Amino acid sequence: MRRVVFNQKGGVGKSSITCNLAAISAARGKRTLVVDLDPQGNSTHYLMGRPATELDNNAADLLEQTLSFTVFNRRPEESFVHATPFENLWVLPSSPELEFLECKLEAKHKIYKLREALKKLDQHFDDIYIDTAPALTAQE
Ligand SMILES: Nc1ncnc2c1ncn2[C@@H]1O[C@H](COP(=O)(O)OP(=O)(O)OP(=O)(O)O)[C@@H](O)[C@H]1O
Ligand SMILES: [Mg+2]
């Protein structure tokens, strides 16, 4: 099941709630994924113990590849999902680049690519928790 944590206000606990709910799912033995769509990358930082800026193959890279003319796109579950130090818990990391990607995807009529990626990820995880940026826009 997919759950999105969103609220237009900043600093109200979205990332904390996302990570804690995901941790509960993982502790219950469910294969759990956190998708960090906030360019600030706090959930990524909480779960990986280091800043999102230090991680390659993040959510922005996943979406970037849909904008380029590569013949073989790398699969989200294989190339962009990172194992956290916690059992049953994975993260699709954020990147500051996410802030600029929405316009690029919209310009090329590819804003739905995120939904496609999430559908693929649904097949590999029991629970997916999505953390969002404070100013929610039409990200999906
Ligand atoms: N239930 C809580 N009680 C007290 N402090 C909390 C609680 N939940 C979160 N915090 C603290 O509040 C601050 C903001 O939390 P968090 O990063 O989860 O908010 P956010 O809504 O994701 O923020 P942003 O909008 O910037 O992404 C953090 O310092 C966090 O430790
Ligand atoms: Mg947050």
Amino acid making up residue 91: V
pLDDT tens digits for 53-98?
999 999 999 998 888 777 678 889 889 999 999 999 999 999 999 9
Question: Given this model, what pLDDT does residue 66 score?
Answer: 82
- 109 pLDDT higher than 80: no
Question: Given this model, what pLDDT does residue 103 score?
Answer: 82
Residue 127 tokens, joined: 């629970």
| Domains defined along the chain, listed by start | 2-131 (3.40.50.300)
How far is ligand 1, taken at its centre, from the CA of residue 107, in Å?
33
pTM comes to 0.92
Backbone angles phi, psi at 20, to 5 degrees: -70, -40
| Cα gap 121→23, rounded to integer Å | 18
Residue 68 CB burial class (10 angstroms; 0-12, 13-18, ≥19): exposed
Other residues' Cβ atoms within 10 Å of the Cβ of residue 116: 12
Which of 16, 37, 46, 47 for a ligand 1 pocket mutation test, highest count of atoms within 8 Å of Cβ?
16
Question: Given this model, what pLDDT does residue 8 score?
Answer: 87
Does any ligand 1 atom lie closer than 6 A to the CB of residue 14?
yes
Atom of ligand 1 nearest to the CA of 19: 18
- 138 pLDDT higher than 60: no
